[in-house]
Structure 1
Amino acid sequence: MSTEGLRAALRDTAHWAWLDGALVAAAERPGTVGRAFAAAGRRTGRAPLPAAPGWTADEAARTLLLAALPPDRAAAEAGDLYHHGDADEKRAVLKALPMLPVGTQAVPLLHDAIRTNDVRLVAAALGPYARHLDQAAWRQAVLKCVFMGVPLDAVDRLDERADPELAGMLADFAAELAAAGRPMPGDAADLLRRLTREET
């Protein structure tokens, strides 16, 4: 998804007039973004956007607010809004990161999200911006998804990045589950089979 796609998905809603004004304010007076970011859930609602699958109205609005900021303010404001936000606001920041001019500056936000026990934050942390995670941290995050039951289709570039080290970690976890009489989640078992076939 792009900011243009999110803008198009919101433009024909009843909330566009408020959001359009908030976007202008964010660009011209960046200090106002915090109030608008917090108000987005109430002003736009949290309903899914049919034109932007996987996105809710408040997530899309918050992403556009961050994208409207002057480029040199984006990383700092994203970090501040993440650390002071509730779970919905944190998730919106994580989903916005691939569309912001932040380079690798926001990687600490991914590490923070991955440390939580909130499955929605862990899943959001493994979206497209996770390309900036080093391979060791990425493997641990994928294993945490399996442990927490986060569907692996949430992991961006999963098959591209999966490697023999991840296969070994998955095999060890599968053995632990088998010893406890518990099955491996289906998508993780499928991934392990794919990786094992590639090795052989």
Structure 2
Amino acid sequence: MTLARTTLDPAAEARLVALVAQVRASPDTLPGAFARAARAVGRGPGPGGHAVQDVARVRLLVAATQGAGPDGTAAVADDLYRTGDADERRAVLLALPDLDVGDAAVPLLHDALRTNDSRLVAAAMGPYAAAHLPDDAWRHGVLKCLFTGVPLAVVADLPARRDAELDRMVAAYAAERRAAGRDVPADALDLLATTP
């Protein structure tokens, strides 16, 4: 289930429904609603292990961009990402699979994967990346997960997109770690121990 289809507990859901109605009626109110979403609905774990504030922000972004078309939706997502804090950026990345943006939001993935913020890296390697990130950038995203301690379990469609070049890169990374006397992440070892 995507975050856009996730419902919260009744009290938080009632507050979120009111915010969603507001941004649907007046999309220009989205930036303010997006920023205060955590104060309005709460923070912390929610349904399916998703943070309550992430669910709220994803639903707000989806509601505000319905009918905006790929270019309009991508522009809104880009603006929220560029002006948001790390939590808001993560929510934009998590919303991408539910947005009508085509390939237009791929630059946001590239930006997130240049950071060392494991929350952004994890969010960037979800279903949108699996569907839209070019092979080379996707492979580097997998390695970035290993570098930053993001579990490979968060990488959407890893078995389907895995190839010999990714295995070569992970094997080289593991060899470099060993040569430096450092531990190799268990995810890297597990990947290399399985046949694609």
**TM-score, normalised relative to structure 2:** 0.92
Q: Distance in 2 between matches of 1:54 and 1:156?
A: 16
Q: 1:121 to 1:4 in 2, by over 3 A?
A: closer
Aligned pairs for 1:145-184 (under 5 A) are 145-184=145-184
User: Aligned to 1:71, what secondary structure does the other structure show?
Assistant: coil
- Structure 2 residue 140 is the aligned partner of structure 1 residue 140: yes
User: Aligned to 2:11, what secondary structure does the other structure show?
Assistant: coil
Q: 1:154 to 1:165 in 2, by over 3 A?
A: same
User: Aligned to 2:48, what secondary structure does the other structure show?
Assistant: coil
Q: Which of 37, 44, 53 in structure 1 is aligned with 2:48?
A: 53
Percent identical among aligned pairs is 52
Q: CA RMSD in A?
A: 1.4
Structure 1 residue runs of 5 or longer lacking an equivalent are none
In the TM superposition, residue 152 of structure 1 has moved relative to its aligned partner by 0.5
1:180 partner letter: A
- Structure 2 residue 37 is the aligned partner of structure 1 residue 40: yes
Tell me if structure 2 keeps the 8 A contact 1:3–1:67. no
- Structure 2 residue 111 is the aligned partner of structure 1 residue 112: yes
Tell me if structure 2 keeps the 8 A contact 1:97–1:129. yes
User: Aligned to 1:91, what secondary structure does the other structure show?
Assistant: helix
Aligned pairs for 1:188-199 (under 5 A) are 188-195=188-195, 198=196
In the TM superposition, residue 184 of structure 1 has moved relative to its aligned partner by 1.2
Q: Distance in 1 between matches of 2:97 and 2:5?
A: 14
**TM-score, normalised relative to structure 1:** 0.90
1:160 partner letter: A
In the TM superposition, residue 148 of structure 1 has moved relative to its aligned partner by 1.5
In the TM superposition, residue 41 of structure 1 has moved relative to its aligned partner by 1.1
Residue 62 of structure 2 corresponds to which residue in structure 1?
67
Report the number of matched residues.
Answer: 191
Q: Distance in 2 between matches of 1:15 and 1:193?
A: 44
